[in-house]
Chains A and B, each alone.
Chain A
């Protein structure tokens, strides 16, 4: 089992390295240069030349890649091209907002999805099952900006129960209840978005295991359907469920640009988008790497969980 884990970790490192090259190459391909984007219409030849000199944009690509990788490994992310602030400070501030939103959403969405999935499996083909299926599929079918705007329209503009945007002061300095109030609608929107995937996977994985001979044995033994599913089927269905949960958690960290924009949450997604607009390449690259590490990390975690949950992997011959 130990060798298996080491292999997984090494693979993760290789994937991260390959992605770093892809990120660097992709940011090189962005049209236009940062100086044009920053200075805009008022740019003159002189100010453009000054700007390019300052940012060392005149050096060859591979030199800059190696320098960048070196700095990245030493944890030195550099300063933003757009505003000369330290990228690590900027990311730190934004990451806190993103991670907090993701964690609060996961805290609600994951248990809810697993429970709904189990209920659907226990009552397979019943009205309850169908209701859960149709409901969650509906939510996953409408895009987040629609759910988000709909919730804002109903709960914020019409009923005025909730704030329409996350107030920065509440987010940065508020106590827990103020933070929760500010984040209530974004959490709801994201929960609707990730619920279906996890619910469906839980139901499918459990039902898949239900057709195994050992489950038949348990049923013949006289165990109730609830006990059969939770005690016997669920442990063996855990691997695919954990995998889907990991993917959704990674999505909650890196894929919530739209929700951040609708609710004006200063998170990593909006920082990424703004940085692309302003051709702030070091920031784009740093966030790209952060998202990559998040995905690799969660997948690694899912693999480890699957190994622990599966006796055949836990005790390989």
Chain B
């Protein structure tokens, strides 16, 4: 009930009616004013000193179970990330503009080539057992991922760091195999939180975070209490993290007042939760998306005019309104979301345009081709409804398009990257580089549209090593333009991460990477 207008604004942004800077400015202002009656106002405007301290925050986590761990090298679920960020800190945090910001590393710099890095660590930080935090802890925590027996999801990411050594107690030097201007963002990954040198058991680990572990039951519950020696600011006395994976039970308890924060609201429950007294929906615009995967290497979709016809047939607004209940943003046929610092404002927004679609369809000479769009709800949540909306759009363009629902078990192995046209989707990646690389690089194993452009590949590598921000942005713009004009991505829509809070919770604000990737989520929160 509070956030609707902000979505209109975002669609204006996506439609090119306002610039990204204007959007951020106005969205900030709007998010606050729209929620003037609630505590959001306090959250955004009150200075830290005037925030109320104390209270125990009760959070319902939507994922977790028997594989939960307090060992960062074993973090797999959003529940793990959340518990981790409560008791540990990473070197670098992701801010709300998806930029790297200091956490345990106070500052960092690289050589012009972006392959040699110096991280300067914060001084005067102590672990909860009283020991000082030094570069030895950083080296130890990161090296644990690289052990031969390591099963860490962070291992392949960290392997690009070829050399890592301490230079005194508060400086860490690193070399990378290839230039990478995004290296600091790598250390925002939850797996790279810093634990204490020598820690192996993780039954009662010490951290530098805002809270100190008090009680922990695998798959059930964690209680952490305020760390009086925390190096930053925090407000709460204690935080309880309850694992509650059942979407309905979680929201029932939220509405009954048993939790202060209920993470991950099922799309079907959004309106119900939003209407409930005392509960607010918190929507974070993010890079997660659902898209048409149009394969460029096989008939009939190897024809770019047919691909353009397919892209002009997407009823973008309708997908957002109907399938995403208004909680989403239209896209511009590449995977970089408007929330990303490298999003390109200069490319005109492609709209739903049956006339243009008809024009390109005619040009392709395939007016009579019958096309099948494959989809599966289990593989891509909500995609069957989206496919039906799309089919109406394609019909308006004079296309003969049939929707085929596939068995869920084999969707990713038998349908995706096999058939010319199917619905696909991606979780958000922390940088434009990671997203563009994984889904579009011509030799990538998940290059789902089999689109290959040498120029694109060169740009991708060059941009990764470019340290001049303006030049870098230009390169990313060029890549987005290439995808927009000739690629196989038909962007059906970016959709929001939806969570909920009681109306007396302050500081649980939207974050494009999700609350569970916000290193400071637990210390930002207070009660009104």
Question: Chain A at the B interface: mostly helix, strand, loop or mixed?
Answer: helix
Give the chain A neighbours of B69 by CB distance below 8 A. Answer: 83
Give residues of chain B (106-159) contacting chain A, Cβ–Cβ below 8 Å. 148-153, 155-156
- Pair B151/A264 contact, Cβ less than 8 Å: no
Which of chain A's residues has its CB closest to B409's CB?
Answer: A31
Which of chain B's residues has its CB closest to A163's CB?
Answer: B258
Interface size class of A (residues with CB under 8 A): 35 or more
Chain A residues with a Cβ under 8 A of chain B: 38-40, 42, 44, 47, 50-51, 54, 80, 82-83, 85, 90, 93, 149, 152-153, 156-157, 160, 163-165, 167-169, 172, 261-264, 266, 271, 274-275, 277-278, 280, 283
CB within 8 Å for A47 and B253 given contacts A90-B218, A274-B219: no
- Pair A157/B256 contact, Cβ less than 8 Å: yes
> Does chain A have a CB within 8 A of B242?
yes
Give the chain B neighbours of A90 by CB distance below 8 A. Answer: 218
- Pair B244/A264 contact, Cβ less than 8 Å: yes
Give residues of chain B (54-106) contacting chain A, Cβ–Cβ below 8 Å. 65-69, 76
- Pair B248/A164 contact, Cβ less than 8 Å: no
- Pair B155/A168 contact, Cβ less than 8 Å: no
Which of chain A's residues has its CB closest to B223's CB?
Answer: A169
Chain B residues with a Cβ under 8 A of chain A: 65-69, 76, 148-153, 155-156, 217-221, 223, 240, 242, 244, 246, 248-249, 252-253, 255-258, 276
- Pair B66/A280 contact, Cβ less than 8 Å: yes
CB within 8 Å for A266 and B219 given contacts A157-B252, A261-B246: yes
Give the chain B neighbours of A149 by CB distance below 8 A. Answer: 248, 252
Closest chain-B Cβ to A168's Cβ sits at a distance in Å of 4
- Pair A40/B76 contact, Cβ less than 8 Å: yes
For this complex, 23 residue pairs linking A to B, each with C-beta atoms less than 8 Å apart, are A39-B76, A39-B151, A42-B76, A50-B148, A50-B151, A83-B67, A83-B69, A93-B217, A152-B252, A152-B256, A156-B256, A165-B242, A165-B244, A165-B253, A165-B258, A168-B221, A168-B242, A169-B223, A172-B217, A262-B249, A264-B242, A271-B66, A278-B67
Give the chain A neighbours of B240 by CB distance below 8 A. Answer: 169
Give the chain A neighbours of B257 by CB distance below 8 A. Answer: 160
Given contacts A39-B151, A156-B253, A167-B258, 12 further A-B pairs with CB under 8 A are: A40-B76, A156-B252, A164-B252, A164-B253, A164-B255, A165-B244, A165-B252, A168-B220, A262-B248, A266-B221, A274-B219, A275-B66
Give the chain B neighbours of A277 by CB distance below 8 A. Answer: 65
CB within 8 Å for A83 and B258 given contacts A261-B246, A280-B66: no
Question: Which single member of A47, A82, A172, A264 contacts B155 (CB below 8 Å)?
Answer: A47
- Pair B156/A44 contact, Cβ less than 8 Å: yes
- Pair B66/A278 contact, Cβ less than 8 Å: yes
Closest chain-B Cβ to A292's Cβ sits at a distance in Å of 21
Give the chain A neighbours of B148 by CB distance below 8 A. Answer: 50
Which of chain B's residues has its CB closest to A167's CB?
Answer: B258
User: Roughly how many angstroms separate A214 CA and B258 CA in the complex, as a whole number?
Assistant: 59
- Pair A266/B252 contact, Cβ less than 8 Å: no
Give the chain B neighbours of A82 by CB distance below 8 A. Answer: 65-67
CB within 8 Å for A157 and B255 given contacts A165-B249, A263-B249, A278-B65: yes
Give the chain A neighbours of B67 by CB distance below 8 A. Answer: 38, 82-83, 278
User: Roughly how many angstroms separate A275 CA and B218 CA in the complex, as a whole number?
Assistant: 12
Question: Which single member of A44, A160, A263, A274 contacts B66 (CB below 8 Å)?
Answer: A274
User: Roughly how many angstroms separate A316 CA and B411 CA in the complex, as a whole number?
Assistant: 65
- Pair B256/A80 contact, Cβ less than 8 Å: no
Closest chain-A Cβ to B250's Cβ sits at a distance in Å of 8
Give the chain A neighbours of B248 by CB distance below 8 A. Answer: 149, 262
- Pair B66/A283 contact, Cβ less than 8 Å: yes
Closest chain-B Cβ to A71's Cβ sits at a distance in Å of 20
Give the chain A neighbours of B156 by CB distance below 8 A. Answer: 42, 44
User: Roughly how many angstroms separate A275 CA and B65 CA in the complex, as a whole number?
Assistant: 8
Which of chain A's residues has its CB closest to B152's CB?
Answer: A47
Question: Which single member of B153, B223, B246 contacts A264 (CB below 8 Å)?
Answer: B246
Give the chain A neighbours of B221 by CB distance below 8 A. Answer: 168-169, 266
Closest chain-B Cβ to A209's Cβ sits at a distance in Å of 44
Which of chain A's residues has its CB closest to B218's CB?
Answer: A83
- Pair B246/A262 contact, Cβ less than 8 Å: yes
Give the chain A neighbours of B244 by CB distance below 8 A. Answer: 165, 264
- Pair B219/A153 contact, Cβ less than 8 Å: no
- Pair B153/A42 contact, Cβ less than 8 Å: yes
Closest chain-B Cβ to A91's Cβ sits at a distance in Å of 12
Which of chain A's residues has its CB closest to B58's CB?
Answer: A167
User: Roughly how many angstroms separate A54 CA and B147 CA in the complex, as a whole number?
Assistant: 15
User: Roughly how many angstroms separate A82 CA and B66 CA in the complex, as a whole number?
Assistant: 6
User: Roughly how many angstroms separate A54 CA and B260 CA in the complex, as a whole number?
Assistant: 41
CB within 8 Å for A274 and B65 given contacts A90-B218, A261-B249, A262-B249: yes
Closest chain-B Cβ to A78's Cβ sits at a distance in Å of 14
Indicate the member of B68, B155, B246 with the most A CB atoms within 10 Å. B246
CB within 8 Å for A266 and B151 given contacts A160-B256, A167-B258, A278-B65: no
Which of chain B's residues has its CB closest to A264's CB?
Answer: B244
Which of chain B's residues has its CB closest to A90's CB?
Answer: B218
User: Roughly how many angstroms separate A167 CA and B56 CA in the complex, as a whole number?
Assistant: 14
Indicate the member of B76, B155, B240, B256 with the most A CB atoms within 10 Å. B256
A-B pairs with lowest CB-CB distance, top 5:
A42-B153, A164-B256, A82-B66, A156-B256, A164-B253
Give the chain A neighbours of B153 by CB distance below 8 A. Answer: 39-40, 42
Which of chain A's residues has its CB closest to B64's CB?
Answer: A274
Question: Which single member of A47, A264, A271, A275 contacts B150 (CB below 8 Å)?
Answer: A47
User: Roughly how many angstroms separate A275 CA and B223 CA in the complex, as a whole number?
Assistant: 23
User: Roughly how many angstroms separate A200 CA and B256 CA in the complex, as a whole number?
Assistant: 36
Indicate the member of A39, A42, A80, A261 with the most B CB atoms within 10 Å. A42
Give the chain A neighbours of B252 by CB distance below 8 A. Answer: 149, 152-153, 156-157, 164-165
User: Roughly how many angstroms separate A32 CA and B393 CA in the complex, as a whole number?
Assistant: 40
Indicate the member of B152, B153, B240, B249 with the most A CB atoms within 10 Å. B249
